[in-house]
């Protein structure tokens, strides 16, 4: 929380103490501020997950090496968040994967179009092979 929010709340408390503003008014103002914030974050929780994954944990620690990047030939990391994706730290690019992946493995074969290593994953009873880029 930013210090100015706290400063404003403290300022409002002072006004209540001095009788310049009613307690109910201040409470209403504060709760609607936090309610708004809460609704905003709830709506954007997927984005926030992705941002936090990137900000707070080095990718090399959260991810497992999975398959090769077609551009730089290095390993890309599998990042397990609500929306899983592959990250190439060399190219600084993310490649989104599907939801609800149960297991995933590299295919040791490259895509004929872009040269990225194909990956195979299980979703329910289906096994699906895709190119992470195409």
Task: Summarize as ranges the residues that interact with Zn ion (CB under 5 A).
Answer: 69, 71-72, 88, 90-91, 111, 113-114, 116, 131, 133-134
Cβ closest to Zn ion, residue 5 vs residue 72? 72
The nearest distance, CB 82 to Zn ion, in angstroms, is: 24
Give least dist CB 116 to Zn ion, A.
5
Q: What is the separation of C-alpha 125 from the centre of its chain, rounded to a whole number of angstroms?
A: 27
The least distance separating Zn ion from the CB of residue 92, rounded to whole angstroms, comes to 8
Got the DSSP string for 12-74? HHHHHHTTSS-HHHHHHHHHHHHHHHHHHHHHTHHHHHHHHHHHHS-HHHHPEEEEE-TTT-P
Nearer to Zn ion, 69 or 104 (CB): 69
């Amino acid at each position: 929380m930013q210090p100015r929010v706290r400063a404003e709340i403290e300022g409002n408390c002072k006004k209540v103490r001095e009788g310049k503003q009613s307690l109910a008014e201040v409470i209403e103002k504060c709760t609607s501020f936090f309610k708004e914030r809460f609704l905003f974050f709830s709506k954007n929780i997927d984005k926030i997950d992705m941002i936090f994954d990137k900000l707070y944990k080095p990718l090399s620690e959260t991810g497992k090496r999975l398959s090769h990047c077609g551009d730089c030939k290095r390993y890309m990391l599998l990042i397990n968040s609500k929306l899983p994706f592959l990250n190439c730290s060399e190219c600084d690019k993310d490649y989104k994967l599907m939801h609800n992946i149960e297991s995933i493995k590299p295919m040791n074969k490259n895509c004929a179009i872009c040269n990225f290593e194909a990956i195979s994953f299980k979703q329910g009873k289906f096994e699906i092979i895709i190119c992470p880029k195409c």
